């Protein structure tokens, strides 16, 4: 029994260490919309997948994330600042990690930079409202670097 408890405590400790922000990045000031500057023009960025859970529920929403870019183009300390759904938050975090960071030249920045991105999830139902690319109503997410993701409602035949 003690062995199981010790194993659980150890696993929780490791999980806690994995999610705790690195002390070296905690004091960094946020650089708003850093990725909109010309030096990041070669970064291949693409929208996240629309979460199936939210598509089924016919929900739209957003997620704002902050993260640190190191001089080696690694992403560190990614965290969700705000989100209208845990599913949108998960897709936003995953998406930042999936961008083609490794294909960039090293040394774009000499020091780590903390920046942010906002993800807008729009569900297209056939009226074209997602093509307008404007933030959703009652948006609780912030950030000038906005990435739009569009989901589609597909009606099944009877």
- Specify the pLDDT at position 19: 47
Q: What is the pLDDT of residues 75-100, one digit of tens each?
A: 999 999 999 999 999 999 999 999 99
- Specify the pLDDT at position 16: 52
Task: Report yes or no: 67 and 77 within 8 Å, Cβ to Cβ.
Answer: yes
Domain boundaries, the chain: 23-152
CATH class of the domain comprising 23-152 = alpha beta
Per-residue confidence at 6, pLDDT binned at 50, 70, 90?
A: very low
Say how far apart CA 111 and CA 108 lie, in whole Å: 9
Locate tokens 């975090």: which residue?
93
66 pLDDT more than 70? yes
114 pLDDT more than 50? yes
């Amino acid at each position: 029994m003690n062995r199981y408890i010790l194993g659980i405590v150890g696993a929780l400790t490791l999980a806690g260490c994995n999610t705790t922000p690195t002390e070296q990045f905690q004091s960094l000031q946020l650089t708003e919309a850093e990725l909109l500057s010309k030096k990041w023009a070669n970064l291949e960025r693409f929208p996240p997948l629309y979460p199936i859970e939210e598509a089924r529920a016919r929900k739209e929403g957003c997620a704002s994330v902050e993260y640190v870019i190191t001089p080696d183009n690694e992403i560190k300390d990614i965290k969700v600042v705000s989100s209208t759904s845990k599913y949108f938050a998960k897709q936003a975090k995953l998406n930042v990690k999936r961008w083609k960071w490794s294909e960039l030249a090293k040394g774009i920045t000499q020091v780590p930079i903390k920046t942010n991105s906002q993800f807008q999830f729009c569900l297209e139902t056939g009226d074209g409202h997602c093509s307008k690319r404007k933030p959703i109503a009652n948006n609780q997410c912030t950030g000038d670097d906005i990435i739009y993701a569009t989901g589609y409602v597909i009606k099944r035949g009877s």
